[in-house]
Amino acid sequence: MQRINASIGFDRALWRQDIAGSRAHAAMLAHVGILSPADQEKIDAGLRDIAAEIEAGTFPFDAALEDIHMNIEARLADRIGEPGRRLHTARSRNDQVATDLRLWVRDAIDGLDAQLGDLMRALAQRAAEHAADPMPGFTHLQTAQPVTFGHHLLAYVEMFARDRGRLADTRRRLNVCPLGAAALAGTSFPIDRDMTARALGFDRPAANSLDAVSDRDFALEFLAAAAITAMHLSRFAEEIILWCSAPFGFIRLSDAFTTGSSIMPQKKNPDAAELARGKTGRVLGALVALLTVMKGLPLAYAKDMQEDKEPVFDAAASLSLTLAATAGMVRDMRPDAVRLAAVAGEGFSTATDLADWLVRVLGLPFRTAHHVTGRLVARAEADGVDLAALPLAVMQVEHPGITSEVYDVLSVAASVASRTSYGGTSPHNVAAQAAQWIRDLA
């Protein structure tokens, strides 16, 4: 029973938030006359001393006291006596832990937001450096159309910007204070919940005492936002892994982010990217785990909710580490511009440019132009050449109106330069968007 009931092994991570909540609660109790000023001063000093003990690693955690709240409260009573036993007036562990976890998640969001901003800066800076360097764009992992390496990186900047937005929305919604809801019904003491909410940086007190102690959708929303972020990181990690492989050869990572093989001396494995991809499973699993815990719980508090913390702590730690590793890889990777450009021209990647030319210059309906281009691609494939190497006479067999001007659109450089629509891959667009992101992120 002691082993299954105790949470001190993991909820000690809440100690900063627990002490902050207790200090704010004691100050409020003194303000409304429930505590004497002298007792409040002793409590505040005792809590500050306990914080120093925990920081120094000398705090005597006791599993028999179950959780971080009882450990701190018992230590406070040991240090200052009777005033320490008055601290729990007008509150419960139920509103206490709900407050602590909200504070912890809020702090985690702030840290992750800063890390996402750092990763976005790294991507935008690399995008600016490679705004004009062509690479193959894929659909179905098959060559589609040329894009630029900078444009590809900026796609992830957009994704991570939305991730920051989801975390910011989560932070805004979670920023209400449960403290004062007590066990589930509120309290008969004349407390000032607005005061404690302000002291802890919340926007307002939670409006319903039952909801305040039993709600964990803020943690679920955090995990959902974290899971989407981890998914984006995993997609980028997968690309890094592909790009580093010999068949692609698009980028190189230094020894700082790769490892060797125990028996194959030539190997340079992109382990940082593989681990980033792997840690996504932990973050997604955390979301499913907490959803499963919460799905069958009637109001208000149940001890099942003790299982809310480990998934949140683990997901936040995994995501933070993955963000750090990914930002490091972005700054470390060295694209091979020659190789990227060469592959960008393979697989008849300018076929769409040919079809567009037939529409734009000859006035063909797009579906007709599509069929003409398809026949020309088949002829080029049969002859073992790319489209730009097909003789004009061969092209005119498929459509007599084709002129030598068509060759102006069949190069990779011409293809990417032509994509000037808003959000397109033209080097001018990419350079401008990268510069805008760098300014915004500064």
Q: Which residues are catalytic, by number?
A: 140, 261
Place of tokens 């590809």: 152
3-state DSSP helix/strand/coil % of the chain, to nearest 5: 70, 5, 25
Burial 242-265 (b: 16+ CB within 10 A, else e): bbbeeebebbebeeebbeeeeeee
| Dist CA 102 CA 178 (whole Å) | 9
Strand partners, 287: none
Q: Are 89 and 34 in contact (CB under 8 A)?
A: yes
End-to-end CA distance of the chain: 53
| Dist CA 304 CA 289 (whole Å) | 12
3-state SS track over 135-174? EEEEECCEEEEEEEHHHHHHHHHHHHHHHHHHHHHHHHHH
| Dist CA 251 CA 242 (whole Å) | 9
| Dist CA 258 CA 92 (whole Å) | 50
